[in-house]
Amino acid sequence: MTHNHDSKLFDGMVIFTQVVDCGSFSGAAIATGHSNSYISKTLNKLETRVGVRLLNRTTRSISLTPEGQVYYEQCQQLVFDAHDAVSLLKQSHIEPKGVLKVSCPTSFAQSHLQEVVSAFMHQYPQVNLELDLNDRHVDLVQDGFDLVIRATEQLAESSLVCRKIYSCKGYTVASHDYLKRFGVPTTVAQLSEHQCICYSNLKQANKWSYSHNNGTHSQVEVKAKLLCNSASMELAMVLAGHGICRLPEFVMEKALQQQQLVILLNDYIPPTIDVYAIYPSRKHLSPKVRCFIDLLVEKMPKVAL
């Protein structure tokens, strides 16, 4: 007998949750494509099998009994889990498709994203990419992005999922030519006498903070010779000898390798700048987003994360 009951354990469960969700037998009938009498019979059988009344029925409406409420919550979870199980199976086989909307800071995209985007387009021809390259703060949900890449020293707490994909240092730099003309600052305080190039997306663009190797902290208010919202433009102007700038390493890797820039203030600890892939909670991460993140992680230079 028990075995017989076991084999019918899930019978009627989906119909039952559908009736509760729709608020009526006729609603559930339309939603499932069954007749009203089929819905009614299924529920009667279910109540007989579980041995309690689950629904109070009147001609006008239906409502859950206390036992029905408890059972409904469990059934609902089981139905969700069953849907999840199916979509997991499908996800490992289905080709990512649709539109993938990604936002990324311009300079990071130029230095590190081109290979990832190219590989993604080769591997997943059914996905159309929309890349929004800008350095402003975007709202992932409000602006309708599937994925946002952001570089920051401090990540704001949020309900979104963040995965660190890259890490580098930030340096204070100038060109040889600039230093020849204006001298080399050796303390933070001396920066206030120099021409500085500041990043306007920061709240306090012209207040630069430093931590010394000996544990002390200093802040200086600098004169913004140029205030600008693009790191690549800042780099171009530093290279052209217009001033001192603070930039993440990824913006100026080439220039540093070719020794076009001098790193200043070596007695101070360079801040770490982390780059994150940020996306909505991972409960239903679509294949297109998952595949893009996997590629990002695979293609990023292997740095200590």
Radius of gyration of the chain (CA): 30
Predicted pLDDT of residue 1: 47
Cα–Cα distance for residue pair 43/56, rounded to 1 Å: 12
Q: At what angle do helices 13-22 and 36-50 cross, to 10 degrees?
A: 120
Cα–Cα distance for residue pair 170/260, rounded to 1 Å: 16
How far does Cα 172 stand from its chain's mean position? 29
Cα–Cα distance for residue pair 119/131, rounded to 1 Å: 15
Predicted pLDDT of residue 9: 84
Beta carbons of 78 and 107 less than 8 angstroms apart: no
Taking only the tens of pLDDT, the chain with its 305 residues reads 445 557 788 889 999 999 999 998 989 999 889 999 999 999 999 999 999 999 998 877 899 999 999 999 889 878 877 876 776 666 656 678 888 999 999 889 988 999 999 999 999 998 999 999 988 778 887 788 889 998 887 666 566 788 889 999 999 999 999 999 999 999 999 999 999 999 998 888 999 999 999 999 999 999 999 999 889 899 999 999 999 999 999 999 999 999 999 999 999 999 999 999 988 766 567 788 888 999 998 988 765 44
Predicted pLDDT of residue 66: 93
Predicted pLDDT of residue 35: 93
Cα–Cα distance for residue pair 91/89, rounded to 1 Å: 6
Predicted pLDDT of residue 93: 61
Predicted pLDDT of residue 71: 93
Q: Determine the straight-line distance between the first and last CA of the chain, rounded to whole angstroms.
A: 58
Predicted pLDDT of residue 83: 74
Q: Could you give the angle at the alpha carbon of 81 between the alpha carbons of 76 and 86, nearest 5°?
A: 130
